[in-house]
Chain A
Amino acid sequence: MFAQFRAAFGRWWSPVVRDGLGIGLATGTYGLSFGALSVAAGLSVAQSSVLSLLMFTGASQFAFVGVLGAGGGPVAAVATAALLGSRNGLYGLQLSRTLGLRGWRRWLGAHLVIDESAAMAVRQSAPGTARTAFWTTGLAVFVCWNTATLLGAFGARSLADPAAFGLDVVSPAAFLALLVPRLRAAGQPRVWAGAVAAGATALLATPFVPAGVPVLLAAVPAVAMALAPVRSRTAGSDPARPDPVGSECGR
């Protein structure tokens, strides 16, 4: 009986499962700051938790509460979150053949398509291992992310003045921690130029448009630069490939 259990556990406890659970735990630390920031931005504990349960894509959630916290309207908050979440669509495309999800499994699996699960799955060469990596990482992140959101939200609610503890810089610092590994991984002048153009556009627009809109406007020059014709194709570059270094747990 015990030997059988040991054997079953041994089959389940593979390196890919261990890595997935590790990434889940690392993401939990990020969820703590999201919960705290969300409450500091004016959302209730329940609203923060529902956001983590249903939106479940870190950068979009940070942007959503960031825009609202800066006084932006709900439309701008939703639009920013949607633009940031669009990359999950590309992950899904890369994963769809490997995962081979049909029916209700597709509807359930889609919810778990995020930076971390995609990065872990596309790194595996065997389809079976890739599926294990996707589900383990996705579920581990889901559990840790939501638990941590709740803890962070309750923690922040007990603080009288979040700005006194420097909580107002948690959000830009978190975005920076997400951005730098992506820039590093991309490593192309075009991407750097796009980032600079986006940042300049957002800052220049800030005094003239409502809160939240500058960040949306920043998407315009960036997409234009991405779509500009390429003179020489760089061999082997795959810009949409999810990179664990650039994933949301900020490792």
Chain B
Amino acid sequence: MMWVAIFGGALTCYVAKVAGLSVPERVLRDERVQRAAAMLPIALLGALVLVQTFSTRGALVIDVRGLAVGAALVAILLRAPFLVVVAVAAVVAALARLALG
């Protein structure tokens, strides 16, 4: 099942790439299509951040993860490199869990 999902997901992503190179320009030149496609990643990334930070198995929770992702946000705003951002989040989460037992 996992392999089916992997190949299915890879295929859909590849189709999007090929379509962009192949579809007549007029279709995707449409300003609304452009706006929607620019908005989609922002909306989905925002939703992913919130859901993965504030929920556990279908329940809304506030825990150490909020603190860790907040620390990551500070690092991002300070324009830290990607690995630093990720490391800050992981270290803050690990230390907070140690401190809170």
User: Is there a chain B Cβ closer than 8 Å to A145's Cβ?
Assistant: no
A107 to B15, CA, bound (A): 10
A225 to B17, CA, bound (A): 25
Instruction: Give A residues with C-beta under 8 Å from B.
Output: 26, 29-30, 32-33, 43, 47, 50-51, 54-57, 59-60, 62-64, 66, 68, 70-71, 74-75, 77-78, 80-93, 95-97, 99, 101, 106-107, 109-111, 113, 163-180, 182-183, 186, 191, 194-199, 201-203, 206-207, 210-211, 214-215, 218-219, 221-223, 225-227, 238-240, 249-251
A51 to B3, CA, bound (A): 9
Instruction: Give B residues with C-beta under 8 Å from A.
Output: 1-10, 12-14, 16-23, 25, 28-29, 32-55, 57-60, 65, 68-69, 72-73, 76-77, 81-83, 85-86, 88-94, 97
Tell me whether A203 and B68 are in contact in the complex, defined as CB-CB below 8 angstroms, given that A179-B49, A215-B44 are known contacts.
Answer: no
CB distance from A180 to the nearest CB of B (A): 5
- Whether A227 contacts B38 by the Cβ 8 Å rule is no
- Whether A169 contacts B72 by the Cβ 8 Å rule is yes
Residue of B nearest to A91 (CB): B20
Q: Which of B9, B28, B83 has most chain A Cβ within 10 Å?
A: B9
Tell me whether A177 and B72 are in contact in the complex, defined as CB-CB below 8 angstroms, given that A88-B20, A194-B42, A223-B40 are known contacts.
Answer: yes
Summarize A's interface: helix, strand, loop or mixed: helix
CB distance from A93 to the nearest CB of B (A): 4
- Whether A176 contacts B49 by the Cβ 8 Å rule is yes
- Whether B85 contacts A93 by the Cβ 8 Å rule is no
Residues of B within 8 A of A91 (CB): 20
Provide a sorted-by-A list of 15 A–B residue pairs whose CB atoms are within 8 angstroms: A51-B6, A55-B9, A70-B55, A84-B45, A88-B16, A90-B34, A90-B37, A99-B21, A110-B17, A110-B18, A182-B45, A202-B51, A206-B55, A215-B48, A218-B43
- Whether B28 contacts A111 by the Cβ 8 Å rule is no
- Whether A207 contacts B4 by the Cβ 8 Å rule is no
